Structure 1
Amino acid sequence: MSSKTQVLLIGLDIGGTKTKIAYRISDAAEIRTLVTHGANLKATGSVHVAGLIATIVSRIRAQHTFDDRARIVAGVAGAGRQNDQNEVEALFLQAHTNSKDRLTVYSDAAIALEGAFNGGPGMILIAGTGSGVYARSKAGETLRAGGWGSVLGDPASGYRIGLRALRAVARDLDGGPATALTTYLEKHRGLKGRDQLVTEVYSGSVDVAQISRLVLNLVAEGDQVLNELLDQEIVELTAEVGYLIKDRSEIRLVLMGGLCDHPLFKRRLRTALTTSIPQISFVEPAFPPEVGALRLCE
């Protein structure tokens, strides 16, 4: 090994289902990637997240017999508050055996924004399990609208669409407007009638966010109740984009998150945005979030 001190740079995008990893040695251009299981701070807790990060760093060290210090940046789902970020950083130091390594924790949105525009100005809209809008101005100011979580906000997110759809099923069972989702859940999930629906939903057996995928498919088949629900959610998310726009200059926007991969959702959202905010220009991200995290290591 060269006498020159090297630094192992590791960028992590820790999502609820998987963690994407990008890393390199400080004096090397090659970026290597890995994927492993994920974690959500609110669902699994700070100790679990810190332990996952420590395990990943140790695994990379073992593969490359690297002895110098490591600098790690992790974007963590659910870690939007500074107190949460500080807690994970402190717990990492307790869980990790190499005292030379240093971890900085950001929200998952922060690393996504960094990667999408290579550190420059622009805006991202995330619609996955949750939702939110994040931007960096030409002056370097970071802006945010939404991202309040499932109780206070997250319009057009998987969870909120799924929850509203289940409420529509409840109204259908009460004699209200009919939705095909009621029949689907009865036929394919065994949720027949009030008692079974209440038991499964309140026990946590139903993945509420995943119901949003069924909603989009049934909207495509012509379900009017779910179509109206989806339109309302998209209008509300579009409004959050508008909250961050201060003038009529061009806005470069990247759409991110699992729902934005669904053709119907993406088409509806793009139409709503361009109708309401004509100066928007849709672009593809320069780099994925894990590379955004890696950039923040440098």
Structure 2
Amino acid sequence: MQLSKQEQGWIIGIDGGGTKTKAAICDRSGRVAAIVTGDASNPLSRPWSEVEITIRHLIEELVRRAAIRASCVDAIYMGLAGADRPAVSAQIEASFGPEWQGRLFIDNDAVPALYSGTWGEPGVVLIAGTGSIAYAVHRSNRRYRVGGWGYLLGDEGSGFDVGRQGAVAVLRAFDGRGEATTLTQLMLDHYGLKAPDELIAYIYGSDNPRKQLGDCSRLVEEAANQGDEVALRIIHQAARSLVELVGACHAKLGEELPVVLAGGLLTAETRVRRELMEMASFAICTPTVPPVIGALVAGMQRLGRQLDPDGIRQLQMLQGDGEGSNVDEG
């Protein structure tokens, strides 16, 4: 049966993350009919079978809330961590390609974050959350990445890096190798410990030491706000490391493109963000929508649709028809 014009042209955008996944659906005009949230969908840190179940559930829920059939969807754009690597993209294609043949578009999860600020235009996205990376899309569609090598080999300037440096400073002070810092008492209180050396068993014995140290970044921020010199130096170095990521990206591009800030460390009003803004000599583009809307923009772009001002306004109205039940919180 032939679909009417109103039934055609829907786009699904998926922004996969290490802690949660956002998915959205819009019609051909850009009206967002639903946004839903699911579990983590990072194929590099979670079994693929679980990631696939999460994504399938989100797609089914979007189609249900939009009150359409899956055949009405012209494109499904998936922005997932590592999806620009052949092994990961092949896995995604094997799972979803047969049923979404010709309609499935796979990309790195940095692109939705970028397009949430540039609306599909070229630029650089600087992401600093638990990890860190700078990712650029050139006007020729060439892609460049700097950093993003994980907590063992990189992630400079990330929440993990800041938290780890804070814990190191506490232990150096305990040894007598470093200066005293208010971080010591903050960490002891936070973890309910009596002495700094108890951090060893706590961190190494944790199921997720990376997350535990990443959480410490908030304590470094608190100590810096109290004027602690050790914490202030850690924050300063983190901001400098992030500026270096952007500088290397611009060097690869051969020009300075606008930079979109993303990730918890840079979207909240943190000291790292403030210091970075003071150091930055490049233009910063502030997103007005979450990355999942950037995924819809990318999906439209893959279909060759041009975003006009009306389309952008529609996408900015996240609730679609109103303060709706079709938009999940979180």
Name the structure 1 match of 2:130: 129
Q: Identify the match of residue 209 of structure 1 among 214, 231, 238.
A: 214
Q: Mind listing any 5+ residue stretches in structure 2 that lack a counterpart?
A: 304-330
TM-score normalised by length of structure 2: 0.78
Residues 50-108 of structure 1: per-residue CA shift (max 9 Å, x gap):
111111111222331415153321212454523113213323469xxx56695433221
C-alpha distance in 2 between matches for 1:230 and 1:51: 39
Name the structure 2 match of 1:3: 3
Q: Which amino acid aligns with 2:226?
A: E
Q: Which amino acid aligns with 1:185?
A: M
Name the structure 2 match of 1:66: 69
Q: Identify the match of residue 242 of structure 2 among 233, 237, 242.
A: 237
* Percent of pairs with identical residues: 34
Q: Residue 273 in 1 paired to residue 247 in 2?
A: no
C-alpha distance in 2 between matches for 1:286 and 1:220: 28
Check 1:253–1:65 CA distance in 2 against 1; reply closer, same or farther (3 A cut): closer
Contact kept, 8 Å, 1:17 with 1:37, in 2: the verdict is: no
Q: Which amino acid aligns with 1:295?
A: V
Q: Residue 82 in 1 paired to residue 89 in 2?
A: no
Check 1:174–1:79 CA distance in 2 against 1; reply closer, same or farther (3 A cut): farther
Q: Over the residues paired in the alignment, what is the CA RMSD in angstroms?
A: 2.7
Q: Residue 252 in 1 paired to residue 258 in 2?
A: yes
| Matched residue SS, 1:148 | coil
Check 1:9–1:32 CA distance in 2 against 1; reply closer, same or farther (3 A cut): same
C-alpha distance in 2 between matches for 1:13 and 1:22: 9
Residues 270-294 of structure 1: per-residue CA shift (max 9 Å, x gap):
11223xxxxx122223653212222
Check 1:133–1:50 CA distance in 2 against 1; reply closer, same or farther (3 A cut): same
Q: Which amino acid aligns with 1:52?
A: T
Deviation larger for 12-21 or 76-85: 76-85
Q: Which amino acid aligns with 1:229?
A: I
Residues 144-190 of structure 1: per-residue CA shift (max 9 Å, x gap):
21111111111110111111211222222222322222211222321
Check 1:183–1:13 CA distance in 2 against 1; reply closer, same or farther (3 A cut): same
Residues 243-269 of structure 1: per-residue CA shift (max 9 Å, x gap):
122499654222111111133221101
Check 1:62–1:249 CA distance in 2 against 1; reply closer, same or farther (3 A cut): closer
Check 1:169–1:217 CA distance in 2 against 1; reply closer, same or farther (3 A cut): same
Q: Which amino acid aligns with 2:152?
A: V
